[in-house]
A and B are shown apart, each in its own frame.
Chain A
Amino acid sequence: MRHTIMTRTLVLWVAMGVNAAASAAGTCGPDAVPAGTTCLDRYEASVWRVPNPTTTNGPLVRKIQFGLATALDLASGGATQLGVGGDDYVPCTDDGQNCAGDIYAVSLPSEIPSARITWFQAQDACASSGKRLPTSAEWQVGANGTPDPGPDNRATDCNSAGNIVSATGTRGACISARGAFDMAGNLEEWVADWAPLSSVCTGWGGLSDDRMCLAGASTEVGGPGALTRGGSFVDGTGAGPLAVVGGRRPAVTSSFIGFRCAADNPGPVPAEVDDGVRVSRTGSDAVIRWSVAAGATASTVLRGHVSGLPVGRPGTDERCLISNSGADTLTDHDVPAGGDAFWYLVRGENAAGSGPYGFEETHGVPVAPRLSSTCP
């Protein structure tokens, strides 16, 4: 937000006050909710077989990966939903072979979420969609705040006693503090963690009536346990945000086990740059120096004419001097026309996006964000 003006004879720094905060919101796709450092899918996954994913349906796959694909998009692309009426994932096998580029997990409202899927297949369906299974810890942050199931009213409460799966998000009160649906009940959900195969359910004691089946350690052959969370439509009050089961081997399938995916949350975009923006003269060159914005890994520098203010006015010959650069200094060889001056604005960049250019102010009061599309 530093506003720095350069003429042939005058260098003027106008520091206009720090007042714009970077927003942490909006860095997850529309199909997910932010939960700490994770973007957790808002809905239990429906799994789709997408024909021709690298050719005619390449654009559809990209929409899936950005979290933008709708049920209509999938139907238009000839995709078919799997794991609804039976175990129909072949040629994708229970151990996760032949699944890459075949089955895609999508977080959609009002769909029957896919079940009858192994941990290996679920993980592959997430991966093809550019995601992964959440860890149990990540799942927990996404689940907290979901009402613990009591009697299921079969309409708005979490589906803990319906004995059949509900369409995603249709149980309107079954939403977590961070906005994810069906974390308790409906389908049990695979998470990433493996543990020694649990041999007993002990309960949480007085702390909760949710299922606690992560206890004991089987000494039998046959594989470890892959954790499931949340309970399902058959668990009654044993479903809930603390429900955990460690007794399911990762290659088993069930009509009450599904999953949801997660991705890394890129976090907040950078803050504004600080008061460290400086311009000095070297001959006829202007040398701009700045401190890289807090939270930024790179910087972008925008230049314009004072005669063209406000920032972002069309047709005023703004220039993007550097974009997404690791530099904290640059030399501008251009000289403004007589009677005019250059201004420079610096913004931070990181994996989540671009920081702000700051605000236009009137008498020290911020009135509108500075916006310019000159720099990408």
Chain B
Amino acid sequence: MKRNGMTMYLGFGMLMVAMPAAHACGPDSVAAGAVCLDRYEESVWRVPNPTTTNALLVTEIQLGTATTDDLTAAGATQLGTFIDDYAPCTANGQNCADDIYAVSLPAVIPAANISWFQAQEACANAGKRLPTSAEWQIGATGTPDAGPDDGTTDCNSDAGSVSLTGARENCQSARGAFDMVGNLDEWVAEWVPLSTACATWGGLSDDLMCLFGASTASVSPGALLRGGDFRSHTAAGPLAVVGSGGPFNSRAFIGFRCAR
């Protein structure tokens, strides 16, 4: 409390993060056409007591205002950074509702080792979904195509391991999303007949074009991956597309980001 002439202020309580006036997307995402695409590759958190003591935290996650400090203070634990530790949420997406939450945060290790089913559930619990390939494309446009990776500011296409979200500062798209190229391959919503080969984009681009052929023997469809990863070298890029990964795949170089 302070006294200032005729004015008195009384303040109790805690501050919340304020949003810019009349901004349609949360602070964790960028506007990309009709969707809000998450600014960062997702980190995935297990939130204890999500419907009781941590209900407010879950609301903040869904509004895009939760911070790493908020999550840590609530006892949430980050998953998928080194191994597949999502159980009891299983690779086929069972037992995941109200358990694992995708959060778009800067300067954290993005979650990998996650199946398409688990990724989709983590988005859904956060009130979001996987973007379609077309939505992802709008969000990726303008990201510099991977050339030689300088290891510090360029998109991570050659480091052999994952970078912290947003750390490669030149790796930003026209609409403001980070790491759309390289770092982790990203699941998008679509399924296709499992691709059997990689072709090329012809003279258009040197990016991965592995949405080609249709398996007649596979025991799984393909779920599309976009952008390439930290091992893709110059084949990472805003056009990179892979249809040869089944939705159960769980790999250290595959992650995702959500949209709403």
Q: Which residues of A contact B (CB under 8 A)?
A: 9-19, 21-24, 35-38, 135-138, 140-141, 144-145, 177-178, 193, 195-196, 198-200, 202-205, 207-208, 212, 214-217, 227, 241-242, 244, 246, 265, 267-268, 270-272, 274-276, 291-298, 326-328, 364
Partner of B120, one of A140, A246, A298: A140
State how many angstroms separate the Cβ of A198 from the closest Cβ of chain B: 6
B21 and A274 contacting across the interface, CB-CB below 8 Å: no
Nearest B-chain residue to A280, judged by Cβ? B7
- Of A196, A275, A294, the residue contacting B11 (CB under 8 A) is A275
A196–B191 CB distance below 8 A: no
Residues of A contacting B248 in the complex (Cβ-Cβ under 8 angstroms): 207
What are 22 of the A-B contact pairs (CB < 8 Å)? Answer: A11-B7, A13-B9, A15-B11, A17-B12, A17-B13, A140-B93, A141-B93, A144-B94, A198-B193, A202-B219, A204-B220, A205-B219, A208-B92, A217-B214, A227-B191, A268-B63, A274-B17, A292-B21, A294-B18, A294-B63, A295-B65, A364-B12
Chain A positions within 8 Å of B9 at CB level: 12-13
- What 20 new A-B contacts, CB under 8 Å, besides A36-B124, A294-B16, A328-B21? A11-B7, A13-B9, A19-B13, A136-B191, A137-B189, A145-B97, A199-B216, A202-B216, A202-B218, A202-B219, A207-B219, A212-B221, A215-B194, A216-B214, A217-B193, A246-B193, A274-B18, A294-B19, A295-B65, A296-B19
Asked whether B81 is an interface residue with its Cβ less than 8 Å from the other chain, the reply is no
Tell me, in angstroms, the Cα distance from A265 to B117 when the chains sit together: 20
- On whether the beta carbons of A297 and B22 are closer than 8 Å, the reply is yes
A14 and B59 form a contact (CB under 8 A): no
Main secondary structure of the interface of A (DSSP, over half): loop
Nearest opposing residue in chain B for A207, CB measure? B248
| Residues from chain A with Cβ under 8 Å of B10 in the complex | 12-15
CB distance from A146 to the nearest CB of B (A): 10
Among B92, B117, B128, the one with the most A-chain Cβ atoms within 10 Å of its Cβ is B92
Whether a CB of chain A sits under 8 angstroms from the CB of B229 is no
Report if B48 contacts A (CB, 8 A): no
A residues near B33, Cβ cutoff 8 Å: none
B13 adjacent to A275 (CB under 8 Å): yes
Within 8 A of A (CB), among B55-79: 55-56, 58-60, 62-65
Contact at A216–B193, with CB atoms within 8 Å? yes
Q: Are A242 and B221 in contact (CB under 8 A)?
A: no
Binary CB contact string for chain B from 166 to 206 against chain A (1 if under 8 A, 0 otherwise): 00000000000000000000000111111000000000000
CB distance from A353 to the nearest CB of B (A): 14
Is B226 close to A, CB under 8 A? no
Q: How far is the CA of A270 from the CA of B128 in the complex (A)?
A: 16
Name A37's closest neighbour in chain B (CB-CB).
B129
By the criterion CB–CB under 8 Å, are A18 and B16 in contact?
A: yes
Query: Smallest distance from the beta carbon of B247 to chain A beta carbons, Å?
Result: 9
Flag whether B24 is at the interface (Cβ < 8 A). Answer: yes
B123 CB within 8 Å of chain A: yes
User: Considering the complex of A and B, which 7 residue pairs feature the smallest CB-CB distances, nearest first?
Assistant: A36-B124, A205-B219, A291-B18, A17-B13, A217-B214, A216-B216, A295-B63
Query: Any chain A CB within 8 A of the CB of B240?
Result: no
- Tell me the smallest distance from the CB of B119 to a CB of chain A, in Å: 10
Residue pair B97, A177 in contact (C-beta under 8 Å): yes
Which B residues lie within 8 Å of A38 (CB)? Answer: 129
Q: Does the CB pair A215–B21 fall under 8 Å?
A: no
Among B14, B59, B221, the residue within 8 A (CB) of A271 is B59
B251 within 8 A of A: no
- With A17-B12, A21-B55 known as contacts, the answer to whether A178 contacts B190 (CB < 8 A) is no
Q: In the assembly, what is the distance between CA of A137 and CA of B192, in Å?
A: 12
CB distance from A363 to the nearest CB of B (A): 11
Give the residues in chain A near B11, CB-CB below 8 Å: 13, 15, 275
A145 to B89, CA, bound (A): 11
The reply to whether the CB of B234 lies closer than 8 angstroms to some CB of chain A is: no
Assembled-state Cα–Cα distance A183/B21 (Å): 41
Query: Which residue from B16, B64, B128, B191 sits with its C-beta under 8 Å from A36?
Result: B128
Residues in A neighbouring B93, C-beta threshold 8 A: 140-141, 144
Q: Which residues of the other chain, A, contact B97 by a CB distance below 8 angstroms?
A: 144-145, 177-178
Given A10-B8, A37-B260, A268-B59, verify A215-B22 contact (CB < 8 Å).
no
State whether B92 touches A242 (Cβ < 8 A): yes
